[in-house]
Amino acid sequence: MTKAIDIEQLHHHIEEHEGIQTFPCAQFVEQGEAVLEKQCDILIPAALESQITMENADRIDAKLIVEAANGPISFGADDILKKKGIVVIPDAYANAGGVTVSYFEWIRNISHIRFGRMERRHDQIRGENMTKVLEEATGHTVSEQIRNSISRGADELDLVRSGLDDTVRLAYQEIRATMENDEKITDLRTAVYVLPLEN
């Protein structure tokens, strides 16, 4: 098992040495594209488009590819990967989080109301009531840490994360349903493209 890279340590190294080549906790590979062909469970091409092409697609040895870059897999390579049975989570879905959160920010800005402002006090009161019910039902006092955790109420970051989680989960369910309802759609990318056409 390969040891994970300590991101903070890497960040400090980059600041101090202005690059990653001499980072002692990893091996630097001069020909970076060769790393795409290493055996792995999950491959995440995250920088440039067309990194996986018809020239190297046969040598890709991953079970799952998550397109964090825009268009990192060429059209021809996508077909090769599909035939190899490699699941590809397409960029249109994998990168939707940033767009979704930007939408939430836009909604907040045009409404001039911070997320959670109206719900927060209600959540706190409900949490305090739940704590009282727990104490009465068990006959034990709830610790201050648990009491604070239950009655804290969601802040803006909690609500954004919850909204993003909900949006991404529902989108995936719709993508899967699109695939299951049409036997001609055999991959997530096609389902992602067909879904808006059906709605």
Structure tokens at 98: 């940033």
Query: Taking the complete model, does pTM exceed 0.75, yes or no?
Result: no
Q: Of 89, 124, 156, which residue sits at a domain end?
A: 89
- Considering the domain architecture, whether residues 71 and 138 belong to the same structural domain is answered as no
Question: Which residues fall within 8 angstroms of residue 100, CB to CB, at 6 or more apart?
Answer: 163, 164, 167, 168
- Considering the domain architecture, whether residues 141 and 79 belong to the same structural domain is answered as no
- Considering the domain architecture, whether residues 190 and 127 belong to the same structural domain is answered as yes
Residue 1 clears pLDDT 60, i.e. is over it? no
CA pair distance 50, 145, nearest whole angstrom: 50
- Considering the domain architecture, whether residues 184 and 140 belong to the same structural domain is answered as yes
Question: Which residues fall within 8 angstroms of residue 66, CB to CB, at 6 or more apart?
Answer: 42, 43, 44, 89, 94
Q: What is the pLDDT of residues 91-124, one digit of tens each?
A: 999 999 988 988 888 888 887 777 666 677 777 8
Residue 68 covered by a domain: yes
Expressed as residue numbers, the domain containing 121 is 96-198
Q: Please give the average per-residue pLDDT across 172-180, as a whole number.
A: 94
Report the percent of the chain where pLDDT is more than 90.
Answer: 54
CA pair distance 164, 50, nearest whole angstrom: 28
Chain mean pLDDT for the chain: 89
Name which residue leads in pLDDT, 1 or 162.
162
- Considering the domain architecture, whether residues 77 and 114 belong to the same structural domain is answered as no
Number of domains observed in the structure of the chain: 2
pLDDT at 168: 93
pLDDT at 151: 77
